[in-house]
Amino acid sequence: MDLNTILQVLDSTVRLGTPLLLMCLAGLFSERAGIVDIGLEGKALVAAFFSAAIAYSTGSLMLGLLAGILSSLVLSLIHGVASITFRGNQLISGVALNFLASGLTVLIAQDWFGQGGRTPSLGDVRFHELTLPFAEALRPVPVIGPIYYDLISGHSILVYVAFLCVPVTWWVLYRTRFGLRLRAVGENPAAVDTAGISVVRLRFSAIIIAGVLCGLAGSYLATALQAGFVKEMTAGRGYIALAALIFAKWRPWYALSATMLFGLLQAVALRYQNIDLGGFIIPVQFMNALPYILTIVILAGFVGAANPPRAGGDPYVKER
Amino acid sequence: MDRMPAWADVVLIPLISLILAAILSALAILAIGESPAEAFYLMVDGALMRSSGWGYTLYYATNFIFTGLAVSVAFHAKLFNIGGEGQAALGGLGVALACLYIPWPHWSLALLGSAVGAAAFGALWALIPAYLQAKRGSHIVITTIMFNFIAAALLNYLLVNVLRPVGAMEPASASFAAATHLPTFQSMFSSEGNTLFRGSPANITFFIALIACVFVWLLIWRSKLGYEIRSQGYSESGAKYAGISPSRIIIIAMLISGALSGMMGVNATQGAAGRLILNSAEGAGFIGIAVALMGRNHPFGVLLASLLFGFLYQGGAELAMWTSIPRELIIVIQALVILFTGALDNMVRWPLEALFARLRKKEA
């Protein structure tokens, strides 16, 4: 395996890891505030559809992105109303939203475009790959040149936004008052309430941030990674992001490594199909299932305990 | 707050939730430019007005009864088994192995054997998440979701590489021997000159599903184990104080739940397809969640909700055939039912509770 192949695999790792990273950070904000969110998949799916549909209809990528984020926010708010306002079961609400997204996107796509649940190809209206400064100039330099040109440069703007979200998330969570309160509300909402801070407002803020991030993830899928929406295009990525979140033990920097690891698994599975290890063949299905298997191994406690935020999943009832 | 009368809790709340879901679905149909009334008529006509329509409705309902009961047994122990889909897929595998590799002399024996295989494989697939929840405290929802994906990958591998007959393109097993074919409603109820349930997949497994309803009722409300499961679901610390081991109940409840999900394979794989196909569970594992929530975790409620969803599935297929409404409308309806009966339960409950409290005050 030469440098070029490695770079190609790593390049597609970044491409495939980016939506996972965005959704994982979305889950991180939500779960750190005590709202379990298994609706990441659904939010990204509606965002993928609406970003592609609006970008196609208006010819404007920015309007598409905006529509993607807004549609994801709508699902977020339903989740918030169900699980915060009406103290419903957060898991059931998430399941319902995933189904809602999976059904509605096809229903609307069929009605608008009549192409069996997909949008027409976006053609040129999509996020293009950026060439970072000096990439062309540095290209002939051995090792560093190709790494900079192929791996670091040459992604769409959303990839850089996603990577930037990691330090920003860290900073917000650990260096701001809002972040401290957010983490507190996920561990002990009663204490936060006693301090005179609104639990409901904090949790809604967390859910809105999650909605925006899932919106970015979905738009990335339909308008950057691919040129258009196809039925079920999130393909379980929301659940892989959920797995990555556990893997990352609900921490931003670990989230980056976990999602890139899962991105690498997807990239390898995509490139090599069945891997031949000197007579012993690893089937592609095993590679596809590996993120889930790894999560089970983590949960089984073989690689250290993964403790979720303590108040996760419980609706907060104010004392009377 | 005052308690509501029991009938309001059992009948009124699910009914209102259902009406809300129906109104939103009607709006969705209106929005895509079709008439809700006409769509409803088409669904009723296709699903209930002919015996062949009933044959499909009851076939789907059979699947949903099994998965719905599975979810509700777990719910009674306060466990959310979202892994019905994977357990049902493994159940299908159990059925296929029993039918392919054992030369059954008669369908009745084959039915027994495949039912054991389906239940065992389904239960086995629920065992690991159950063990992790019981002993390691890892959340059953996350682990069962993961196991759905692992099951899909496993079946994909087995069907492509192991069970697929030589030379076949499609990832599916060989067809089962004729001796394993279950009696269909068509062969059971048709008389000379009067064919009923023509060509529909409903089969004898429907009656096994009814027996399963009775079994779950006996288990939950008439047995010691059921009492323990319910105590655990009501208050784990209370149950522990009474000497009930939480990890034992978690594992037993999940094994029963997985076995019930797996039993779906008898209906879909042996009864209808006659071979193991990719995605043999057809999403029924997830519909089980909607069915259990709507049926208020009671076998009779599950039966009614399953019939409703069977009607929706068959009616939805008819709609897709005659109008521009795609089958995915059913997924939207299913989502709305889960949302209203599950997550937004309090939205309906609180105003009703307030209403009943005011009525009571007036009487006093």
Identify the CA nearest to A291 among candidates A257, A265, A272: A265
For residues A296 and B135, is the Cβ–Cβ distance under 8 A? Answer: no
First to last CA, chain B: 16
* Placement of tokens 């009571």 in the chain: B360
CA distance A274 to chain B (A): 11
Residue B160, exposed/middle/buried by CB under 10 A (0-12, 13-18, 19+)?
middle
Which residue type does A313 have? G
For the record, the structure tokens of A216 come out as 């970015």
CA distance A22 to chain B (A): 19
For residues A40 and A95, is the Cβ–Cβ distance under 8 A? Answer: no
How far apart, in whole angstroms, are the C-alpha atoms of residue A53 and residue A68?
Answer: 9
The mean pLDDT value for A9-13 works out to 91
Per-residue pLDDT reduced to its tens digit, B285-296: 999 999 999 898
Domain membership of residue A108 as a residue range: 3-235
Does A299 contact B at CB distance below 8 Å?
Answer: yes
Strands A275-277 and A280-282: antiparallel
Range A119-135 burial, b when 16+ CB lie within 10 A, else e: bbebeebbbeeeeeeeb
Q: Is the dihedral of CA B179, B184, B189, B194 positive or negative?
A: negative
Range B10-26 burial, b when 16+ CB lie within 10 A, else e: eebbbebbbebbbebbe
Is A88 close to B344, i.e. CB distance below 8 A?
A: yes
In a domain, B192, yes or no: yes
pLDDT given at position A316: 86
Number of domains in chain A: 1
pLDDT given at position A304: 65
pLDDT given at position A204: 96
pLDDT given at position B1: 47
Does A95 contact B at CB distance below 8 Å?
Answer: yes
In a domain, B360, yes or no: no
Assign A196 a pLDDT band (cuts: 50, 70, 90): very high
* B31 or B94: which leads in pLDDT: B94
Q: Which helix (H) or strand (E) covers residue A64, if one does?
A: helix A61-80
How far apart, in whole angstroms, are the C-alpha atoms of residue A291 and residue A302?
Answer: 15
CA distance B76 to chain A (A): 15
| Interface list for A 43-82 with B (CB within 8 A) | 78, 81-82
Residue A232, exposed/middle/buried by CB under 10 A (0-12, 13-18, 19+)?
middle
| Interface list for A 122-181 with B (CB within 8 A) | none
Does B147 contact A at CB distance below 8 Å?
Answer: yes
For residues B133 and B126, is the Cβ–Cβ distance under 8 A? Answer: no
Q: Which of B5-9, B87-91, B204-208, B235-239 has the lowest mean pLDDT?
A: B5-9
In a domain, B220, yes or no: yes
The mean pLDDT value for B298-315 works out to 94
In a domain, A24, yes or no: yes
Per-residue pLDDT reduced to its tens digit, A51-103: 999 999 999 999 999 999 999 999 999 999 999 999 998 989 999 999 999 99
Please report residues of B whose CB lies closer than 8 A to that of A299.
132, 136, 138-139, 142-143
> Would the pLDDT of B30 be above 70?
yes
In a domain, B75, yes or no: yes
In a domain, B55, yes or no: no
Assign A10 a pLDDT band (cuts: 50, 70, 90): very high
In a domain, B323, yes or no: no
Per-residue pLDDT reduced to its tens digit, B137-154: 788 988 999 999 999 999
How far apart, in whole angstroms, are the C-alpha atoms of residue B264 and residue B87?
Answer: 9
User: Which residue of chain A comes nearest to B145, CA vs CA?
Assistant: A239
Please report residues of A whose CB lies closer than 8 A to that of B331.
99, 102-103, 106
How far apart, in whole angstroms, are the C-alpha atoms of residue B156 and residue A287?
Answer: 12
pLDDT given at position A303: 65
For the record, the structure tokens of B305 come out as 């909700």
> Would the pLDDT of A212 be above 60?
yes
Q: Looking at residue A226, what DSSP letter applies? A: S
In a domain, A156, yes or no: yes
User: Apex CA B335: angle with CA B332 and CA B339, to 5°?
Assistant: 140
In a domain, B211, yes or no: yes
For residues A38 and A94, is the Cβ–Cβ distance under 8 A? Answer: yes
In a domain, A301, yes or no: no
How far apart, in whole angstroms, are the C-alpha atoms of residue A32 and residue A187?
Answer: 8
Does B80 contact A at CB distance below 8 Å?
Answer: yes
pLDDT given at position A173: 96
In a domain, A122, yes or no: yes
- Give the distance, in angstroms, between the CA of residue A131 and the centroid of all CA atoms in the same chain: 24
When CB atoms are compared, the residue of A88, A106, A301 closest to B328 is A106
In a domain, A241, yes or no: no
CA distance A88 to chain B (A): 5
Identify the CA nearest to A242 among candidates B123, B153, B149: B149
> Would the pLDDT of A320 be above 70?
no
Long-range contacts made by residues B213-216, C-beta under 8 angstroms, separation at least 24? B213/B65, B213/B69, B213/B299, B213/B300, B213/B302, B213/B303, B214/B299, B216/B69, B216/B72, B216/B73, B216/B260, B216/B299
Is A289 close to B336, i.e. CB distance below 8 A?
A: no
In a domain, A129, yes or no: yes
Q: Helix or strand or coil: residue A277?
A: strand
All residues at 6 or more sequence positions from A134 whose CB lies less than 8 Å from its CB, including other chains: A148
Per-residue pLDDT reduced to its tens digit, B32-42: 888 899 999 99
How far apart, in whole angstroms, are the C-alpha atoms of residue B199 and residue B208?
Answer: 21
Q: What are the angstrom distances between the C-alpha of B230 and each of A185, B79, B101, B246, B258? A: 31, 11, 40, 11, 18
The mean pLDDT value for B81-110 works out to 94
In a domain, A319, yes or no: no
In a domain, B117, yes or no: yes
CA distance A125 to chain B (A): 26
pLDDT given at position B200: 87
All residues at 6 or more sequence positions from B132 whose CB lies less than 8 Å from its CB, including other chains: A296, A299, A300, B138, B140, B143
Per-residue pLDDT reduced to its tens digit, B345-356: 889 888 988 888
Number of domains in chain B: 1
For residues B326 and A107, is the Cβ–Cβ distance under 8 A? Answer: yes
* Placement of tokens 């609400």 in the chain: A93
In a domain, A104, yes or no: yes
Please report residues of B whose CB lies closer than 8 A to that of A97.
335, 339
pLDDT given at position A308: 82
User: Which residue of chain B comes nearest to A231, CA vs CA?
Assistant: B328
Share of chain B above pLDDT 90, in %: 61
Domain membership of residue B226 as a residue range: 61-295
The average confidence (pLDDT) of chain A is 90
For residues A291 and A265, is the Cβ–Cβ distance under 8 A? Answer: yes
Does A230 contact B at CB distance below 8 Å?
Answer: no
pLDDT given at position B11: 85
Question: Helix axis angle, A61-80 relative to A90-113, nearest 10°?
Answer: 150
When CB atoms are compared, the residue of B152, B325, B343 closest to A82 is B343
Q: Helix or strand or coil: residue B123?
A: helix
pLDDT given at position B308: 93
Per-residue pLDDT reduced to its tens digit, A199-208: 999 999 999 9
Per-residue pLDDT reduced to its tens digit, A106-132: 999 998 998 888 899 888 888 888 888
Q: Helix or strand or coil: residue A281?
A: strand
How far apart, in whole angstroms, are the C-alpha atoms of residue A72 and residue A40?
Answer: 9
User: Which residue of chain A comes nearest to B138, CA vs CA?
Assistant: A299
Per-residue pLDDT reduced to its tens digit, B173-189: 999 998 899 999 988 88
